[in-house]
Each structure stands twice: as structure tokens, then as C-alpha cells.
Amino acid sequence: MAQVPVQTIHRDPQLFYWILFPITAVMILTGVLRHYATVLMASAAKKLDQKTMREQRSLLHGINVRGNSHALSKRSFTARRDALITAYESGAYLKDPERRGQAPPNPMSDPSSMEGMMGMMKNQMAMIIPNTLIMSWINAFFSGYVIMKLPFPLTIKFKSMLQAGVATKDMDPRWMSSISWYFLCIFGLQPVFNFLLGSDNAASQMAQQMGGMAPNAGQMFGPGVDPDKQFLAEAENLAVIEHYSVLDGVEQRLLEGIKV
């Protein structure tokens, strides 16, 4: 079988110094910058006031009682269940009991929930803005350059990915354009950042660890959820539970299970 003649393109060696290297360096530096920007912008985890904490944890307590009811004897479970149902239905654990029955506040007008959304928005912005800027910079200056040849063969499908911005039909997919190098950098630089900044951004993680158990039940107690409805639903769940206890017949299980 005849070999396809190897395509050779004579490139200016300066391409390496003036395109490949700058793009890489810029990408790495923006990555580092973005990391520090997010660290700076990250607002400290919002402190819950005592009443909110009470509301959330009381609900969690009910869920725990429901889930682990088998650890209790029937009598203690019934006592707990009755107490919890009464408290839930009377709204004893609510943050502000007099607001019961009203529609939940609009999440847009609630300042505490706005803050959470702003935080998310900030993170998104920190991702999007630099990327758009760099992309347009590359497009403006380096579009259409073929800058390097990959050291391994590729199928034709890779052409659209690797030769973005280079409209040449017959060129071997191994040739890479500058814009593709940019995309490769976006997806492939994570290990480099891990190496530079510590894996998984050690700083933020450690602070969380020292903070103890962070109440990260965000989605359960998100804005716009009416806690009263949650309590009522939980009371219903507790009421219908069919209780069994691990203590029932445990000595029989023990005698059967353990052979001396």
C-alpha cells in the first residue's frame, strides 16, 4: 500500500515565540488571576441567625427521627413523633410565626437571598469575562495561523475542532490553528492550576474545614421555599411512618447469628 506523502508546511519558527508561547502564558496568568479574584470576591459564608438555624435544624431533626426511627423503641418513637407533629403543625419552630400562611416573599426582594445569587453571578462573571476577552484578542490578532503539528495522527473528524478558523480542505488534521490551541488550553490547564495553586484550591477548602460542619443544605432551604409547608409535609411524613424497631427480637437474631 502506498503511503500518503507527508504534508510539510514550512512555518516561520518565530510563530512559536510570538503565538504559541504568548497564548499559553496569557491563559495561565489569567487562570491564576481568576483564582485570586474569586478568593477576594468570595463573601464569607453568610452567618445564619439563631432563629433561621433553629428552623432549619428542627426540620432536619424531624427528618432524622423519621429516617432512623428503627433505632428507637416503639414507645420513645411514638412520644417523639407526637411531640414533633404537634410542634410542626403549630408552627413552633418557624422563624417568624406571625407570618404564617402568607405567601413566601419574592426571592428577588429578599436581601439575604439576593446575596447568594450575587455570589453565584460573581463567579460566573469571573469565568465569562476573561474568556471572552482572550477569545476576541486571539481572534483579532492570530486568526488563521497554523501554528503547530501534533505528533500523532488523527482522523478527519478532528479537522473542525483543530483547524477552527483555517478554511483549508485538504490539510492534514494534525495541523493546529491558534484558536484551537486556545481551546486546548482552556480544557487542559486544570492540572497546571492544581500544581500552581494547590489541588482543588486548598485555601478555600481548608477554611471550610476549620469552620466545622458548614450547614450546606442550600438547596433544601433555598429562597422562595415556604418553611411552613415543609414542616407540614414533614409532619405528614412522620404521621404515616410504619414503625419497626431493631430492638424487636434482637436477642433471637443474636443467638442465631453468632456461633461460639
Partner 1 sequence: MAPSLLHPPSQLSPAAALQLSQQAPAVLQNSPSTVSKSPFSALFSASETPELWIKYENLLLSCLRTGDELAAKQCLERLVARFGDGNERIMAFKGLVKEADAQHNGELETVLKEYEQILRDNDTNIPITKRRIALLRSMGRVPDAVSALVQLLDFSPTDAEAWSELADLYLSQGMYPQAIYAMEEVLILAPNAWSVHARLGEILLMAATAPGAAGASYQKYMAEALKRFSRSIELCDDYLRGYYGLKLVTTKLLKESAKLAKQAEEDGLVLPDTNTIERLNELATAKLSEIIRHSTAQDRGWRGYDQGEVAVARELLSEDSSAASRIER
Binding site for partner 1 (CB under 8 A): 32, 47-51, 53-54, 57-58, 60-61, 64-65, 68-76, 196-199, 202-203, 206-207, 209-212, 245-248, 250-255, 257-258, 260
Q: How far is the CB of 200 from partner 1 (least distance, A)?
A: 11
Q: How far is the CB of 123 from partner 1 (least distance, A)?
A: 20
Q: How far is the CB of 33 from partner 1 (least distance, A)?
A: 11
Task: Give whichever of 4 and 255 is closer to partner 1, judged by the CB atom.
Answer: 255
- Cell of residue 178, nine digits: 491558534
Please give the backbone phi and psi of residue 180, each rounded to the nearest 5 degrees, phi first: -70, -35
Measured CA to CA, the distance from residue 231 to residue 86 in angstroms comes to: 11
Task: Give whichever of 108 and 203 is closer to partner 1, judged by the CB atom.
Answer: 203
Measured CA to CA, the distance from residue 78 to residue 75 in angstroms comes to: 5
Q: How far is the CB of 28 from partner 1 (least distance, A)?
A: 10
Other C-beta atoms lying within 10 Å of the C-beta of residue 111: 6
Task: Give whichever of 173 and 215 is closer to partner 1, judged by the CB atom.
Answer: 215
Task: Give whichever of 62 and 130 is closer to partner 1, judged by the CB atom.
Answer: 62
3-state secondary structure of 131: helix
Q: Which of 131, 19, 154 is nearest to 163 (CA)?
A: 154
Q: Which of 51, 31, 37, 145 is nearest to 98 (CA)?
A: 51
Packed helices 50-67 and 74-90: angle between N→C axes, nearest 10 degrees: 140
Task: Give whichever of 64 and 190 is closer to partner 1, judged by the CB atom.
Answer: 64
Q: How far is the CB of 6 from partner 1 (least distance, A)?
A: 40
Question: Per DSSP, which regions of the chain are E strands?
Answer: 146-149, 175-177
Measured CA to CA, the distance from residue 102 to residue 107 in angstroms comes to: 14
**What residues have CB less than 8 Å from 24, skipping those under 6 apart?**
181, 185
Q: How far is the CB of 214 from partner 1 (least distance, A)?
A: 11
Q: How far is the CB of 131 from partner 1 (least distance, A)?
A: 21
Q: How far is CA 204 from the centre of its chain?
A: 14
Q: Which of 235, 240, 212 is nearest to 94 (CA)?
A: 235
Instruction: Enter the DSSP assignment of 221.
Output: T
